[in-house]
Amino acid sequence: MEVVIAAGLMGILFAAVATTYSTSMGVLRGQRETIAANLLLQGRIDQIRAAGWSQVSEPETLRQNILGVASPQGPMLSAVHETVTVTAYPPTSPAQTPLLVERTTDGTTTIVSQPAAGFSLRKVLAVRVDVHVDWKSAQNSRTRTRETATVISLGGLLK
C-alpha cells in the first residue's frame, strides 16, 4: 500500500514538473517574440532616422527603401505585419490624411493612404512617425502588438 501511495505521489510530482516546464517554455518563447518585435521596431526607427527627408515624406520611397527591406527579426515572428504612419507634426488644421505604408507577412509592401494632392509632407518642418508591428504568438496563437512613435524634424536629418 505504501509503495502504491509513493508511486502516486511521484506521478503527481512528475506531472507538476512537466506542466511547469511546459508553461515556462511558452513564456520564454513569448518573451523572445516580444524582444524580436521591439528590435524590429527600433530597427525601423533607426532606418527612418538614417534616411533622407524625401524617403520619410514621400510614399513611394518610404515603401521601397524603408519597408521594402526585410527586417532581420521578421523571421522570428509568425505572420508578422508592419505599418509605418507619417503625419505632419504638430498636426495641421484641417487634419490631413496620413501617409500609411504596410508590409504584410509575405513581404508585399503597399501604400494604404497618403495626404491629399494639395498637401506635401516635404513642406512641413517636422513629422510624427508611428511604427506598428503585430504577429501571431507561438505561445497561444493570439495576435500580439507592439508600437512606437517618434518626431523627426527636417533639420534633424543629415540628408
Preceding peptide of 115 cis, ω within 30°: no
Task: Quickly state the pLDDT bin for 26 (edges 50, 70, 90).
Answer: confident
What pLDDT score was predicted for residue 19?
85
Mean pLDDT of 42-67: 89
Residue 119 has pLDDT above 70, yes or no: yes
Whole-number pLDDT of residue 95: 84
In three-state secondary structure terms, 85 is strand
Can you tell me the distance from the alpha carbon of 123 to that of 57, in angstroms, rounded to the nearest whole number?
9
* pLDDT, mean over the chain: 89
Asked whether the predicted pLDDT for residue 91 surpasses 70, the reply is yes
CA distance 3 to 57: 75
Condensed to tens digits (0 to 9), the pLDDT of residues 63-76 reads 999 999 999 998 88
- Domain map of the chain by residue range? 2-156
C-alpha gyration radius of the chain: 23
Find the Cα–Cα–Cα–Cα dihedral 8, 10, 13, 14, rounded to 10°: -110
Instruction: Give 149's DSSP letter.
Output: E
Average pLDDT of 72-97? 90
Cβ pair 109, 102 in contact under 8 A: yes
**pLDDT of amino acid 38:** 95
Query: How many CA atoms does the CB half-sphere of 54 hold within 13 Å?
Result: 4
Q: What is the pTM of this model?
A: 0.82
Confidence of residue 156 (pLDDT cuts 50, 70, 90): low
